[in-house]
Structure 1
Amino acid sequence: MKVGANGLALEVEDHGPAGAPPVLLVMGLGMQLTAWPQALVDALVAAGHRVIRFDNRDIGLSTWLDHLPAPNLLWESLKRRMGLPVRAPYTLEDLAADAFGVLDALGIARAHVVGASMGGMVAQRMALAAPARVLSLTSVMSSSGARHLPGPHPRVLQVLLGRPHDRSEAALLSHYVRLFQAIGSPGWPEPPDVLRQRILDSLRRGGYHPAGSARQLAAIAADTGRAAALHAVRAPTLVLHGEADPLVPVACGIDTARRIPGARLVTIPGMGHDLPPGVVERLLPPLVDHLRLVSPS
């Protein structure tokens, strides 16, 4: 279903009883709500939660902001490395406002917020912007954004800088298979046919929108002050990170947990930068325990 949020039309899925403690799932860069595995959603509902997932702006079935410019990512990345201001069409604070808008549209005053990758950064911004609305924070395979942290492994960076040969479904499928195999969990690699079908389903649902991903990436690059602000987070916080993450190395999760008072860090051997079934099985116990720590008043 579509909801109006922060002046946009955002695609939302709402699972579980309306009166159950709500959990808002915020997905990462260029990824649709369907990147949250159904098994994870079902397990959270079975644990007694109402689970909401949505497409961020500029991706999937939510509003695409193609009236805004697509940034020059190489130039903006160079500026960030030099400590210069990065220009972005919108900010992570805007994405956080979108997420609060989803909650508003559903009549939810307070929620547990779980974010993956870029979504973890958005979740951190939510906890900073409106502490009273965030029951708990879970940051999954994400980062504080501190400048000194390591970046992607060189082989992953090479794939990230590549582009599909054309916009045919076959070319897009081949490109994304290479990407997800490069960043995937070595401990639980997805069977090739399962991975291919998952990518096809995503392409056929939400299309191919590199300009939107570029604008989201610029928002990440421009968010240079978050690391220094994380000491102000008061929500009970869980940081989950894969020890084999080649895209956002585990040092980024360790740094995030160090900066947030009282945060609990759980690292998972063999986990990369994805959510295959084996990873979901290992994420769920600490996540469910964490959500049980706080109940809405």
Structure 2
Amino acid sequence: MTSIASANGIDIAYESFGSPGGRPLLLIMGLGAQLIHWDDRLCAQLAEQGHHVVRFDNRDAGLSTHLHDAGAPTPGGPAPYLLKDMAEDTAGLMDALGWQAAHVMGASMGGMIAQTLAIQHPDRVLTLTSIMSTPDLGVAPPTEAAREALFAKPVSTREEAVKQAVVTSSVIGSPGYELDREHIERLAGQAYDRCHDPAGVARQLAAIMASPDRTEALTRLNVPALVVHGADDPLIPLSGGQATAAAIPGAELKVFPGMGHDLPAPVWPDLVEAVSKLTAGQ
């Protein structure tokens, strides 16, 4: 069941798994993605390990507030907001949940937001798990094919959205694992039905591009951290995960061979085990 929280001046849609008495674990999704992109089964596995899991829609995604009045960013123009603002949304959601602190896990742009949250509010992040992310775009440039997939022309129909999702996944997904076409198509259809806002995705991308390098700030963190990355990620290459782990004191780097810019189901057990070990220690 989806709930709505008022946070940082906007509405944020969220869902929870597991017992409210469990270890609080906040999941932050990536560019253009919605809370449903954190798979129900993965959330359930995390809940089974004693976590109270909350997944949510970032601003300009899903059922959370969309900043339509800001319009689509113009090339070379100012970004309507930055990752630091999205991190404040996250802190605001924690306030609404009654969480003084939480274990935080982010994927891709969500990893960037999680890093920023830990920098801005170090007392509120019990542990940090950064997945297929980077502290700076410059250290992990995408392949040309991945760049083209990222900047593909926005679609205008549900059918086009489903087709584009399959094409994108075939480019940036995990070459070491079979492409689950049926699941990708079903999820893309659900996401389109829930919300379709290309201008919102463009505003999120502008926030990523305009936000500063976090490397130096990450070196000052004192938080148990796990960095997860695919060895074959073409969108944010492994160098991004390596730079993240190198910057955060004591961070553990876990690399999955054959994994690209997604989370294939076969890696979930190892991921859940690593995250649970991290959070249980705090």
* Partner SS, residue 67 of structure 1: helix
1:18 deviates by: 1.4
- Provide the rounded CA distance (Å) in 2 between the counterparts of 1:171 and 1:126: 35
- Provide the rounded CA distance (Å) in 1 between the counterparts of 2:177 and 2:256: 12
- Provide the rounded CA distance (Å) in 2 between the counterparts of 1:251 and 1:189: 24
1:150 deviates by: 3.1
Q: 2:175 aligns with which of 178, 183, 186?
A: 186
Residue 112 of structure 2 aligns with an amino acid whose one-letter code is M
Provide Cα deviations, 1:78-128, integer angstroms capped at 9, x if missing partner: xxxxxxxx7210111110111111111111111000000001010011111
- 1:89 and 2:80 correspond: yes
Provide Cα deviations, 1:184-209, integer angstroms capped at 9, x if missing partner: 11122332222211211111122x21
* Partner SS, residue 96 of structure 1: helix
Provide Cα deviations, 1:138-169, integer angstroms capped at 9, x if missing partner: 0000001153x1311111222223215x5121
Q: 2:204 aligns with which of 216, 220, 223?
A: 216
8 Å CA contact 1:246, 1:272 repeated in 2? yes
Provide the residue aligned with 1:65 in structure 2: 67
Alignment RMSD: 1.4
8 Å CA contact 2:140, 2:238 repeated in 1? no
Identify which range, 10-19 or 257-266, moves more after superposition: 10-19
- 1:127 and 2:118 correspond: yes
- Provide the rounded CA distance (Å) in 2 between the counterparts of 1:281 and 1:244: 19
- Provide the rounded CA distance (Å) in 1 between the counterparts of 2:143 and 2:267: 20
Provide the residue aligned with 1:252 in structure 2: 240
Q: TM-score, normalised on structure 2?
A: 0.95
- Provide the rounded CA distance (Å) in 2 between the counterparts of 1:262 and 1:146: 22
Alignment of 1:153-232 (within 5 A): 153-164=143-154, 167-206=156-195, 208-232=196-220
- Provide the rounded CA distance (Å) in 2 between the counterparts of 1:211 and 1:192: 26
Residue 5 of structure 2 aligns with an amino acid whose one-letter code is V
Aligned length: 280
Provide the residue aligned with 1:150 in structure 2: 140
Q: 1:235 aligns with which of 215, 218, 223?
A: 223
Provide Cα deviations, 1:13-35, integer angstroms capped at 9, x if missing partner: 02211121100001111100111
- Provide the rounded CA distance (Å) in 1 between the counterparts of 2:121 and 2:140: 29
Residue 212 of structure 1 aligns with an amino acid whose one-letter code is G
- Provide the rounded CA distance (Å) in 2 between the counterparts of 1:150 and 1:26: 20
1:282 deviates by: 2.9
Residue 113 of structure 1 aligns with an amino acid whose one-letter code is V
* Partner SS, residue 53 of structure 2: strand
Provide Cα deviations, 1:195-232, integer angstroms capped at 9, x if missing partner: 211211111122x2111111111111111231221111
Identify which range, 52-61 or 173-182, moves more after superposition: 173-182
8 Å CA contact 1:37, 1:275 repeated in 2? no
* Partner SS, residue 239 of structure 1: strand
- Provide the rounded CA distance (Å) in 2 between the counterparts of 1:55 and 1:105: 15
Identify which range, 54-63 or 276-285, moves more after superposition: 276-285
Identity value in percent = 43
1:250 deviates by: 0.4
Provide the residue aligned with 1:98 in structure 2: 89
Residue 179 of structure 1 aligns with an amino acid whose one-letter code is T
- Provide the rounded CA distance (Å) in 1 between the counterparts of 2:213 and 2:240: 15
| 1:191–1:20 Cα change, 3 Å | closer
- 1:266 and 2:268 correspond: no
Provide the residue aligned with 1:25 in structure 2: 27
Residue 269 of structure 1 aligns with an amino acid whose one-letter code is P
- Provide the rounded CA distance (Å) in 1 between the counterparts of 2:206 and 2:100: 30
Q: TM-score, normalised on structure 1?
A: 0.91
